[in-house]
Chains A and B, each alone.
Chain A
């Protein structure tokens, strides 16, 4: 347990090392994405002359696009290269001396970021409710908020495993940055960060339920907004856990095949 605390504490200090960066990213990035999305949907609502689309009012759409980018950050954890960079630098070897495996260590550091961004989400939701739009929060309550965040954290573990599989391709390829970006595109689009997936054609939605993407983003967002039933949440959590197990097996397989490729020299 002590290792957990040490690793997470160290990672937290890293996150807060550049405070100006932290605040610019925290407030600026979220606020701008929200404003641009809101402007787009306002134009669509005005053109259509409706007050609700696919179950979303304009206020709810604002809340959706506040949660979506921070939700993406919770999933993305420490961002690209959390494993690949060390393979390239040849510093991967140091984990041989650590009292916990490289995968445990990396999952812990990943979760530190995810938990930290979850806290950011709580703060931002509070600010949004107090100063911007109370109307959007009619169906939001503390219970739904924590269930949604729990789904995000389970999703972050699944996404971390997916990320690890891709990052370990660095044992063969010279640059996996593009692959990681592709995973982000898929998650962002098919998870519902760009557009709520209820706006997708029904046939596409029916295909997506067989992938992890709607459970990674859309379900937690809808849960926080109070739009999911308890049954949907538990079902989603179980599906995410199943995907996590599948990706963990994938990580083991890639590592088994690739560990002998590691030279420890760096490029």
Chain B
């Protein structure tokens, strides 16, 4: 464990020095993420000009939900996004060999090597948005509620990572992950909508099979509404199963990996 922690500190150091080399890109990335946050907040502000409630939530409750998915996005962009971008290329070009022979878990190395230092400031901004929406929330809540929300947001990030991996891993067999990645980014919009709007098969898909609706919506529900054990158990069970499925496909993929480039 200590070895992995030390390794991650090295990743951080390299990533920050690399980010500082490309200063203009550094500023562009910050602006881009801020714009993404503004667009998402404005979207719901406009919706609430036409309705007082959405999926059972008021505007201030919706802002907590929005800040939850903005924070999940910020963490993912900072910790995983660059790695997820390069992973299909490594598999396609047969470059995975270098990682398979290292004395560390290849999944750990390939998922966490590139820390997006230029997104780090956005992570701070996203955290600020969450704090702002909590401060302006009129209903009472305790420190334990906030702590649970933070843990569930981290769990949401893990679900997001697993879903993304599930869309990347077919590259072991299909040679190109572009279609699946496009699909992933399209499905990402389900994370940005409250889960109660989904009904029927769409609900099954987004809360069980590809649980994008659990990423931010369930954590927000458990914070805003009274703690509900079945919701919590659902979230926990799906997260564990998803992680196991992702690991299973990763191992299958490694067995199918031919080392040849395409």
Contact = CB atoms under 8 A, between A and B. Distances in A.
A244 B249 CA distance: 48
Nearest to A204: B46
Contacts of A29: 182-183, 186
A43 interface: yes
Given A36-B189, A39-B199, A20 B179 contact: yes
B39 A194 contact: yes
A189 B36 CA distance: 10
Interface string A173-212: 1111111011001101100001100011100000000000
Contact of B22 (A28, A33, A175): A175
A40 B39 CA distance: 17
A32 interface: yes
A48 B43 contact: no
B197 A39 contact: yes
B50 A40 contact: no
A199 B49 contact: yes
Interface centre among B22, B51, B52 (most CB of A within 10 A): B51
Nearest to A17: B176
Interface string B161-190: 000000000000011101110110011011
Contacts of A44: 47, 50-51, 54
Interface string B33-67: 00110010011001101111111000000000000
A21 interface: yes
B31 interface: yes
Contacts of A181: 32
Interface in A2-49: 18, 20-25, 28-29, 32-33, 35-36, 39-40, 42-44, 47-48
B93 interface: no
Given A174-B22, A175-B25, A194-B39, A21 B178 contact: yes
Contacts of B179: 18, 20-25, 28
A44 B189 CA distance: 17
Interface residues of B, number: 40
Nearest to B196: A43
B120 interface: no
B39 A35 contact: no
A53 B50 contact: yes
A42 B182 contact: no
B48 to A, nearest CB: 10
B221 interface: no
Given A25-B179, A182-B35, A175 B28 contact: yes
A23 B182 CA distance: 11
B24 A174 contact: yes
B202 to A, nearest CB: 6
A25 B182 CA distance: 6
Nearest to A19: B179
A53 B52 CA distance: 14
B165 to A, nearest CB: 17
Nearest to A201: B49
B178 A173 contact: no
Interface centre among B22, B24, B36 (most CB of A within 10 A): B24
Contacts of A172: 24
B29 interface: yes
27 contacts: A18-B176, A18-B178, A18-B179, A20-B174, A20-B179, A21-B176, A22-B179, A24-B182, A24-B183, A28-B186, A29-B186, A39-B202, A48-B50, A48-B51, A69-B186, A178-B31, A182-B35, A185-B32, A185-B39, A186-B35, A188-B39, A189-B43, A194-B39, A194-B43, A195-B47, A199-B47, A199-B49
Interface of B: 21-22, 24-25, 28-29, 31-32, 35-36, 39, 42-43, 46-47, 49-55, 174-176, 178-180, 182-183, 186-187, 189-190, 193, 196-199, 202
User: Top 9 nearest A-B pairs by Cβ distance?
Assistant: A21-B179, A24-B179, A178-B28, A175-B25, A178-B32, A43-B197, A29-B186, A173-B24, A174-B22
